[in-house]
Structure 1
Amino acid sequence: MPAPAEEFLADMLPRQTAAERAVHHGDAGPRTALWSKADPVTLFGAWLPIRTGWADVGDAFRRVAAQFSDSREYRFEVIAAGASGDLAYTVGFEHNTVSVNGRPTTYTLRVTHVYRREDGEWRIVHRHGDRPPDEPAPEDSLHSR
Structure 2
Amino acid sequence: MPAPTEAFLADVLPRQTAAERAIHNGDAGPRSELWSHADPVSLFGAWLPLRTGWADVGAAFKRVAAQFSDSRDYRFEVVAAGASGDLAYTIGFEHNTVSVNGKPTTYTLRVTHVYRREDGEWKIVHRHGDRPPDEPPPDAELAS
Q: TM-score, normalised by structure 2?
A: 0.98
Distance 1:22 1:45 in 2: 17
Please provide the CA RMSD for this pair.
0.6
Show structure 2 runs of 5+ residues with no match. Answer: none
After superposition, the C-alpha distances for 1:106-127 in whole angstroms (9 at most, x for unaligned) are 0000000000000000000000
SS of alignment partner, residue 137 of structure 2? coil
| Per-residue deviation, 1:141 | 1.8
Equivalent position of 1:37 in the other structure: 37
After superposition, the C-alpha distances for 1:2-61 in whole angstroms (9 at most, x for unaligned) are 000000000000000000000000000000000000000000000000000000000000
Distance 1:128 1:94 in 2: 12
Equivalent position of 2:27 in the other structure: 27
Q: Which runs of 4+ in 1 moved over 4 A?
A: none
After superposition, the C-alpha distances for 1:78-121 in whole angstroms (9 at most, x for unaligned) are 00000000000000000000000000000000000000000000
Distance 2:142 2:16 in 1: 21
How many equivalent pairs are there?
A: 143
Equivalent position of 2:142 in the other structure: 142
| Per-residue deviation, 1:142 | 2.3
Equivalent position of 1:48 in the other structure: 48
Q: TM-score, normalised by structure 1?
A: 0.98
Show structure 1 runs of 5+ residues with no match. Answer: none
- Percent identity of paired positions between Structure 1 and Structure 2: 85
Distance 2:98 2:124 in 1: 23
